[in-house]
Structure 1
Amino acid sequence: MMSPVFDCRDREQMLAGMRQARQAIARGEVIVLPTDTVYGVAADAFSHDAVRGLLTVKGRSRQQPPPVLVGSAQALPALVEQVPEAVERLVERFWPGALTIVLPAQPALTWDLGETRGTVAVRQPDHPITLELLAETGPLAVSSANLTGKPAATDASSARRMLGDSVSLYLEDGPVKTGVASTIIDATSLVPGRGEPAVRVLRLGAISRGELREVLGDLLEDDPEEATP
């Protein structure tokens, strides 16, 4: 049976699609949804089988763990060991939005996202459909909707051409505005006892280094490419 596509620009299709998306997530299945950056493949972050299914759909190994999307900034303290003051400022400025923050994971959680070395990458997306779904499902493991090595999908139909029936359903909301992936930063050293405090840019995306420096000042590591020889 072909995986259905629900056009969320049509209210009736959106209601049906959201209902089926919630049910699919609850069953540990993988779906495709829109975000503010690119389309994503999503699964229950707390289901080992669901996360394994997401990695299989992507053609990824456990060495490339997916980030976790949350519906509100209030969910962050439950997922990480500590929220440093500088991270609170970043969240206030850039969430919901295109900033993914890596921090030490909350040790009490029993999830398995892959080889994370005890960290988790968290983001609150700025997309009404995804935020509504997250409010009902809780945190979702989400990675860009594409096969590893291929360009990230900017609408559901391009995701479908790559992923076909390997996911349960597609939520379509038209082309994303930017098509630029989120910026990923490593803020783990801001937690006391984890070395010299500094924030490192792991991937430059929709949020620039200059915007980060406005919030972080000298806590942001220098760009290696800008360093004086």
Structure 2
Amino acid sequence: MTIVEPTAATIVAAAKLLTDGKLVAFPTETVYGLGGDATNERAVAAIFEAKGRPQFNPLISHVLDAGEARRFVRWSDSAERLASRFWPGALTLVLPRANGSAIALLATAGLDTVAIRAPSHPVAQALIREAGRPIAAPSANRSGAISPTRAEHVAESLGARVPMIIDGGPCLVGVESTVLDLSRDAPVLLRPGGISREAIEAVIGRIALSDALPTGDAARRSPGQLASHYAPARPVRLDATTAGADEGLLAFGPDVPSGAMLTFNLSPAGDLAEAAANLFAMMRALDRPGIGRIAVMPIPETGLGLAINDRLRRAAADDGKSDRR
């Protein structure tokens, strides 16, 4: 772990780490972010792993401006008005994923929406520009710790889990960004933050409050209260050691049973980070007509396996479709 001052050379070095799939902690006007390439599933998996006690909650993808955001989300009139007023700044917009969006499915927890914002901090802007891609970045702290507003907070919380920390001084806002969901019929405030509800309503009119706003660690771990995840249409069978002819098999490890209609292996080597990176894309690939059920091989309940299994259990329990033989 190295703490560096923000210079032209260190920004280039940090951007190289990001494009190589590594992590970089950097300042924004809200809190310090633990950044990874938002288009790289393995880099996103590394973010969850570094934070500890991982949960696959949606992450905010940071871009330069509204023009870049349009490459990844379906823009709207409300988004245009809000971005014109508050971007760059402490407002995150949740919008439908654009066709062909490069944002990793793991970064959106498998949802068809993307949480996106343009930070105003000059170091964050310089890093995004140099990296040439969106940066997924939750707060740069271990899960359960207080959100960091100084570089030394990041070092104390994450240590060697992050190769580089860019010290941009104390964060000016000091609380997380406001998260506003524009993917529904009416705007919904998912998380209060650096931009007030009143300021937003002055631009687009009245907005609804979510039924149960998260607090404390729950609010810090995800952009809002997006607890729902991608749920396959096919029923899910967990801890499968065999595969039926009408099943799609989500395998793990080198020993894969035969007989499935279609098989995808999360990680032939049994690597949990690789499995996490492949999870949502492979689930979607198996959720297709002709497949009666998705069978999932056992995943170890350690490290990222905890988050993988949590997601799989949610999928299996959805609408009572599960047949857990």
Fold-level match, TM-score > 0.5?
Answer: yes
- Please identify, of 33-42 and 128-137, the stretch whose mean Cα deviation from structure 2 is larger: 128-137
Q: Does 1:221 align with 2:208?
A: yes
Structure 2: runs of 5 or more not aligned: 213-325
Cα RMSD, aligned residues only: 1.6
Structure 1: runs of 5 or more not aligned: 9-13, 190-196
Q: 1:45/1:222 Cα in 2 relative to 1: closer, same or farther (>3 Å)?
A: closer
Correspondence for 2:237: none
Give the deviation of 1:86 after TM superposition.
Answer: 1.2
Give the deviation of 1:116 after TM superposition.
Answer: 3.8
The percentage of aligned residue pairs carrying the same residue is: 33
The secondary structure found in structure 2 opposite 1:23 is helix
Native 8 Å contact 2:108 2:115 kept in 1: no
Q: Does 1:133 align with 2:121?
A: no
Render the CA deviation track for 1:98-121: whole Å, top value 9, x for unaligned: 000001112313522152421110
Q: How many residues align?
A: 209
Q: Could you state the TM-score of these two structures normalised by the residue count of structure 1?
A: 0.86
The secondary structure found in structure 2 opposite 1:188 is coil
Give matches, 1:112-127, under 5 Å.
Answer: 112=105, 113-127=107-121
Aligned partner letter, 1:183: T
Give matches, 1:7-26, under 5 Å.
Answer: 7-8=5-6, 14-26=7-19
Bigger relative CO (Cα 8 Å, ≥ 6 apart): 1
Give matches, 1:56-67, under 5 Å.
Answer: 56-59=49-52, 61-67=54-60
Q: Could you state the TM-score of these two structures normalised by the residue count of structure 2?
A: 0.62
Report the Cα distance in structure 2 between the residues aligned to 1:217 and 1:203, rounded to whole angstroms. Answer: 17
Q: Does 1:27 align with 2:20?
A: yes
Q: 1:78/1:151 Cα in 2 relative to 1: closer, same or farther (>3 Å)?
A: same
Match 2:173 to one of 174, 178, 181: 178
Runs of 4+ in 1 over 6 A off after TM superposition: none
Match 1:166 to one of 157, 161, 170: 161
Q: Does 1:205 align with 2:197?
A: no
Report the Cα distance in structure 1 between the residues aligned to 2:51 and 2:57, rounded to whole angstroms. Answer: 10
Match 1:41 to one of 34, 53, 57: 34
Report the Cα distance in structure 1 between the residues aligned to 2:45 and 2:95, rounded to whole angstroms. Answer: 22
Aligned partner letter, 1:134: I
Q: 1:222/1:161 Cα in 2 relative to 1: closer, same or farther (>3 Å)?
A: closer
Native 8 Å contact 2:190 2:210 kept in 1: no
